[in-house]
């Protein structure tokens, strides 16, 4: 627990001063944008080094694709994809803050032992009832996301009477369950789950109403990077051509209250967020 507290210290110190950058590292063959690029150990490690050099505050490592329609991955395979990478990063870059992107408590538990200190759970710790216990005992920070359905089914027919109110209420319930399980309030971040069981309009409404989610009193993480709603708004562009659209969403998310942004393109995001922070938060350095 002491090691985890030490690894969390940099993000704790920075989060009140600026927007944090979480870099995506998918060690999967089938993720929607970078699937297969970093499935090999050496390429994953090189990508981690690159993202840290570009200014990533957190490396979010996942071994199971959560793209729409994705099938579950066996626990052993998820561990095989993620643990060696986490161990190597933690050894070579002891100051790095590492997140494990998983819904499986055993994967989270072993990842924390290997050097991770954050659990990023797209289910808000609802898919695996043991997840909250693992996080609480380890002293890990948790990212609790909203999802309607599962990755396999979430985009079949998303429906809400009031998407902002329903997502807010679900996130509040996730946070309350986490606190009841012994996870301290300061170790809870919330994510509205852009693209996870939402239409284009649902995503836009959630982004416009980030202040409503901020009113819950927890840091808000936003993940819009290269997602399909951006492609839709730009006339059907594929993921490879959605960078500019992504950066527009990041700047506005910061203006509307996002505390952390989860991105594939770290350098571009760092530069975008630096300008947005200067405009929104003030305190830009004199030149």
Note whether 263 and 272 are within 8 A (CB).
Answer: no
d(CA 183, CA 230): 34
Sign, CA dihedral 257-67-45-247, equals negative
- The answer to whether residue 285 is domain-embedded is no
- The answer to whether residue 193 is domain-embedded is yes
- The answer to whether residue 131 is domain-embedded is yes
Write out the catalytic residue numbers: 227, 262
- Length of the chain measured in residues: 287
pTM comes to 0.93
pLDDT at 149: 79
d(CA 43, CA 48): 9
- The answer to whether residue 128 is domain-embedded is yes
pLDDT at 31: 53
CATH of the domain at 123: 3.20.20.20
pLDDT at 33: 46
Phi first, then psi: what are they for 83, rounded to 5°? -60, -45
Residues forming a β-bridge with 142: 119, 188
**Domain count along the chain:** 1
- The answer to whether residue 116 is domain-embedded is yes
Residue 137 is encoded by which pair of tokens? 């005992």
pLDDT at 38: 58
Q: Which of 66, 69, 82 has its CA nearest to residue 31?
A: 66
Note whether 217 and 186 are within 8 A (CB).
Answer: no
Question: Which residue segment(s) compose the domain that 95 sits in?
Answer: 2-280
For every one of its 287 residues, what pLDDT tens digit does the chain have, with 9 covering 90 and above? 678 999 999 999 999 999 999 999 988 765 544 555 656 788 889 999 999 999 999 999 999 877 676 677 889 999 999 999 999 999 999 999 999 999 999 999 999 999 999 999 999 999 999 999 999 999 999 999 999 878 777 787 889 999 999 999 999 999 999 999 999 999 999 999 999 999 999 999 999 999 999 999 999 999 999 999 999 999 999 999 999 999 999 999 999 999 999 999 999 999 999 999 999 988 655 44
- The answer to whether residue 287 is domain-embedded is no
């Amino acid at each position: 627990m002491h090691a985890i507290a030490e690894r969390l210290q940099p993000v704790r110190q920075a989060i009140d001063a600026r927007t944090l950058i979480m870099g995506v590292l998918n060690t999967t063959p089938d993720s929607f944008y970078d699937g297969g690029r970093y499935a090999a150990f050496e390429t994953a490690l090189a990508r981690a080094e690159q993202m840290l050099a570009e200014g990533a505050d957190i490396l979010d490592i996942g071994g199971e694709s959560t793209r729409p329609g994705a099938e579950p991955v066996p626990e052993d395979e998820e561990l095989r994809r993620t643990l060696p990478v986490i161990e190597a990063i933690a050894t070579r870059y002891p100051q790095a803050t590492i997140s494990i992107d998983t819904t499986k408590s055993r994967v989270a538990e072993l990842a924390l032992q290997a050097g991770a200190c954050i659990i990023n759970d797209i289910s808000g710790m609802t898919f695996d009832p043991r997840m909250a216990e693992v996080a609480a005992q380890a002293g890990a920070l948790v990212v609790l996301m909203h999802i309607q359905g599962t990755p396999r089914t979430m985009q079949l027919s998303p429906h809400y009477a009031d998407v902002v109110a329903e997502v807010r209420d679900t996130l509040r319930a996730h946070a309350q369950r986490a606190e009841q399980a012994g996870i301290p309030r300061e170790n809870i971040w919330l994510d509205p789950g852009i693209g996870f069981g939402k239409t284009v309009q649902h995503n836009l409404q959630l982004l416009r109403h980030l202040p409503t989610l901020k009113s819950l009193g927890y840091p808000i993480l936003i993940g819009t990077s290269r997602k399909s709603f951006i492609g839709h708004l730009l006339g059907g562009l594929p993921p490879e051509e959605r960078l500019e659209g992504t950066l527009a969403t990041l700047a506005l998310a910061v203006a509307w209250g996002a505390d952390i942004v989860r991105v594939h393109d770290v350098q571009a995001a760092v530069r975008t967020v630096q300008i947005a922070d200067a405009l929104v938060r003030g305190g830009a350095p004199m030149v």
